[in-house]
Amino acid sequence: MPTYRQALPGQLLRAGLYLVVLVAAHFFWLHLKPGILWTLVAVIAGAAFVPPRFSELASAAGFLIVAGVAYFNYGQTAVAALCAVFGVITLISGVRAASRGPYA
């Protein structure tokens, strides 16, 4: 497993790609409320600075929290469903990565 310093450029690139997709989805399809949009931006950007072994787990937790907030507080079911799907997929991937150990 790469060190934090070695993995950071790749994580920042991935976060940038996710942010571009989020902005495109916001303008062309989802029309997110500002609270949800900025929370998703914070989740994506914040997960880029978590150590590589736990980055996907942090993303998964953030996506699942945003899904709950979008559904219960804002009533945006499409956004909640999309975030929940991304959260579950990322959670499964993150658990697999974390269980391999630091040198796998």
For residues 21 and 77, what is the distance between their CA atoms, to the nearest angstrom? 19
Look at the pTM and tell me if it is higher than 0.85.
no
> Would you give the end-to-end CA distance of the chain in angstroms?
6
Among 70, 69, 44, residue whose Cα is nearest residue 59: 44
pLDDT of residue 101: 66
pLDDT of residue 87: 92
pLDDT of residue 70: 92
pLDDT of residue 102: 61
pLDDT of residue 98: 82
Sign of CA dihedral 73, 25, 97, 85: positive
Low-confidence ranges of the chain (pLDDT < 50): none
pLDDT of residue 51: 84
pLDDT of residue 53: 81
pLDDT of residue 29: 82
Helix H or strand E encompassing 52: helix 52-72
Please answer whether residues 24 and 51 qualify as being in contact, where contact means their C-beta atoms are separated by less than 8 angstroms: no
Three-state SS at 30 = helix
